[in-house]
């Protein structure tokens, strides 16, 4: 298991750099790969609303850019003390790089508020194991 406080710090730092002028809902995410490297991302909104990027999507893109392919653990920090679970699209994006038992934490700046496995977050998910995927 990763150093959860460090992942929370990275996710909160990313959240504080988010660009969310339309929703006012900045979000940060941080993940650790199976080889122990950490990557973070924030949401970036756009006036053409469907063209924005979620924090989870940004963290995954950074991971892929760093040649990571497996999410071992993920933290999401929203703008309040309420849990901030990923949208449906990000649940599928996370599943592309996470196993059903990968742990996802929803946190505030200080603590874990809720923890779920990937399978709990997106039950019976369609994932890369349904395909012959040589890049995993």
Residue 109 annotated among the catalytic residues of the structure: no
Cα–Cα separations (whole angstroms), residue 31 to 24, 111, 115, 122: 23, 16, 14, 18
Q: Is 24 left (phi over 0), alpha (psi -120 to 50) or beta?
A: left
Q: Name the catalytic one among 13, 45, 56, 109.
A: 56
Catalytic residues: 56
């Amino acid at each position: 298991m990763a150093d959860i406080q460090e992942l929370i710090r990275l996710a909160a730092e990313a959240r504080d750099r988010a660009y969310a002028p339309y929703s006012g809902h900045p979000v940060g995410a941080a993940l650790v790969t199976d080889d122990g490297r950490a990557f973070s991302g924030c949401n970036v909104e756009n006036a053409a609303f469907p063209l924005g990027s979620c924090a989870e999507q940004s963290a995954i893109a950074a991971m892929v850019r760093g040649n990571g392919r497996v999410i071992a653990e993920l933290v999401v920090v929203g703008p309040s003390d309420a849990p901030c679970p990923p949208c449906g699209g990000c649940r599928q994006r996370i599943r592309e790089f996470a196993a059903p038992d990968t742990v996802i934490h929803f946190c505030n700046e200080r603590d874990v508020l809720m923890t779920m496995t990937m399978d709990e977050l997106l039950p019976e998910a369609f994932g890369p194991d349904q395909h012959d995927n040589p890049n995993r």
